[in-house]
Chain A
Amino acid sequence: MVGTLAQVAVEKADFQAYCGTGPPRFANRSELECAKILDYYGVPWDYEPRSFVLRQGDDGRVLSAFTPDFYLPEQDLYIEVTVMKQSLVTRKNRKLREVQRLYPDVRVKLFYRRDIESLAQRYRLRMAA
């Protein structure tokens, strides 16, 4: 299984299609695996470049926000990778719906851990893609 670590630190130089500034610090191995697949195919990607404010207090303080894991600038697409079980992602789905409501032009796709595992497995087994 692609497990969860406290944080997976990598060097920026490890990636060629990474277009962020500082070294990405992945929250788990699923995110790292996703980055490696994107990088292999030369699809430019950034890691957590933007947070979307979902709720603010009267004083302007951010009460709720959502930061997707990846941004693919050429696709103008955000990707959120979750290692939660599909049955436990209700809260995350609610946030995603909120992003869609408040930022209708923003495209976000949710990938579950099994999606990333399946992708990695497919590519390594030389299955068609």
Chain B
Amino acid sequence: MKLHEYRSKQIFARYDIPIPRGRVAMTAGEARAIAEELGGRAVIKAQVLVGGRGKAGGIRLAQSPEEAEELATQVLGMHIKGLPVRKVLVDQAADIQTEIYLGLTNDRATGSPVLIASAEGGIDIEEVARVRPEKIARVWVDPLLGLRTYQARNLAAGMELPRAHWGQFTDIARALYRVYKQTDATLAEINPLVILGGGSMLALDGKIVLDDNALFRHPELAELRDLDEEAASEREARKYGLSYVKLDGDVGCMVNGAGLAMATMDVIQHLGGRPANFLDVGGGAPAEKVAAALEIILSDRNVRVVLLNIFGGITRCDEVARGILMAMEEVKPQVPMVARLVGTNEEEGRRLLAEARMITATSLLEGAERAVAAAKGEAIEHPG
């Protein structure tokens, strides 16, 4: 779960990481009032959960409260990468001398946190990593010990930060580690961390991504989820404990298991079709989940056929089939349905589904072939 910049910076401030003075505005009038409080010059920053806000014109510098109002009017009306801007952060403009990148994330290869810094801050760090990898310094942290001062100092030396700033840099790095640890973040990032004209440091922009699996430990953070920022269908899926990702194709997919769901999408594409979604309905495929999943898949108007691929294993396929039939009774899909079931009593399961005019298949390849053909409007034999 991603947190907005202003939420991330509020958390930074609680851990004594210096942030600019500023507040969030929902209207241009509020933006003007905040700019006045800040003494006139202010930065108007769109609060949307995507990168590239600056390039899209979502971050603007105002020289006066009047201009702040004018720019806030523009930014509040924008869509950035499809997301409407509903809030702007109005921050005091800073006298920036140097921009640094500082971030903490999980390193999959070592299974430990890694602190990353670069003297080339303020821009896309992945781009720096690709083009000038020598400009990035890293230290790996023992999760049982936490980030030690010497490690942060090594990083400061590694990125050739002037010695005068080492003390403040290590304090901020250790505070950022506490943020990362105590919020169960998978990413805690300050980009840029700036050195001001007077020599002090300020976290100008911040980003925190929380581990969804750890939200049970942080009910106060779980409440910060911005429901406006995700597709309604993905939100609905989460409510039922389903994983759903919408895509651009027309073959709807309902599969038990994430790996098999991806493989099913891949087979559809391999056969010249286009998957409409990823959907993991979970183990056993109980009727109520199948019904919810079917509703979600069919809420996408592009879907011209639904392929169910349920590898039951131990699960009894006749029970899965009855569940599917109950769900179909409830949802009444108007598109062809193709089902491929494997598991105990699979023949009985297929027979029940075929009776209900569903197209059945014994292998994944066959199921995908039939679904792709149906999406292309080709005639399909109904077995039985």
Is the pairing of A and B real?
no
